[in-house]
Amino acid sequence: MHPMLNIAVRAARSAGDLILRHADQIGTLRINQKSKNDFASEVDRKAEQEIIRIIQSAYPGHAIVAEESGVHRGDEEFVWIIDPLDGTTNFLHGFPQYAVSIALKQKGKIEVAAVYEPLRDELFTASRGGGAMLNNRRIRVTKQNSLRGALIGTGFPFKHQQHLDAYLDMFRVLCIDSAGIRRGGAAALDLAYLAAGRLDGFWEIGLQEWDMAAGVLLVKEAGGVVTDFSFDDQYLTSGNIIAGSPKMHQIIYQSIEPHITDNLKS
């Protein structure tokens, strides 16, 4: 295994164990609201500290961008991108869909990725050029080639309500023509499930880099395509993402394209 993936996996598993140890204490956790509909608990913070501890003990000089503690400066050639608990709202409600997401960007390219779902003990990993795995078995995106029969993942733009009308127009088209739409509540897992062939496509507005970085590499290494809403590769900065097998990506893009406003293209 790529040595940095090894560290990402160790950190993701350790944080996942920590999250599970707190899953029956939800009622007693200290929770703070970062903004409207955006919460963090002491579990998010502790899980993040654990991940950073493990990364820094192996690679003390690397830079880190982590959801709860922000930017930790270092050698900018290597940047770890961490979402210690993706699906916090689910976790805080005991809704069993959440994961740890860790990616390493080297010279601007995502090099390794680990998404760990502790409740199912499912570990999704990828290294650039080395394929994507679920619990060490190779995964691929589906061969689905039309919306008919397709299962599509998404997230609602609850923090970006200025885009709600455009989003609902996209939703209407895809909802009518597909077999179904799922809103799991953890974008890292949505992308991991797409890589594993459990979803045929995915789109969302307004994500953060840490929600997507690991999942994007999983999808690409599983044979999928990822773009922003301009059919370009700026999804980590724009936060707007379309992902799927090459065919499903194209179909989703063409379906929602009439509803992509100029604001969503930048």
Binding site for Ca ion (CB under 5 A): 67, 83, 85-86, 211
Please report whether residue 153 would count as binding ligand IPD according to CB under 6 A: no
Q: Which residues contact 209 (CB under 8 A, 6 or more apart)?
A: 65, 81, 236, 237
The interface with ligand IPD within residues 105-124 (CB under 6 A) comprises: none
Please report whether residue 185 would count as binding ligand IPD according to CB under 6 A: yes
In sequence order, which ranges of 42-186 are alpha helices (DSSP H)? 42-58, 88-92, 164-177
In sequence order, which ranges of 22-148 are alpha helices (DSSP H)? 42-58, 88-92
Q: Which residues contact 157 (CB under 8 A, 6 or more apart)?
A: 163, 164, 167, 204, 205, 206
50 burial level (CB within 10 Å; 0-12, 13-18, 19+): buried
Choose the one of ligand IPD, Ca ion, none that binds residue 244, judging by a C-beta under 5 to 8 angstroms depending on kind.
Answer: none
Kindly tell me which of 144 and 240 has the beta carbon lying closer to ligand IPD. Answer: 240
User: Which of 186, 199, 241, 264 touches ligand IPD by CB under 6 A?
Assistant: 186
Contact between 227 and 233 (Cβ < 8 Å): yes
Please report whether residue 83 would count as binding ligand IPD according to CB under 6 A: yes
Minimum distance of ligand IPD from residue 187's CB (angstroms) = 3
User: Which of 11, 66, 196, 207 touches ligand IPD by CB under 6 A?
Assistant: 207
Binding site residues, ligand IPD, CB under 6 A: 83, 86-89, 155, 185-187, 207, 211
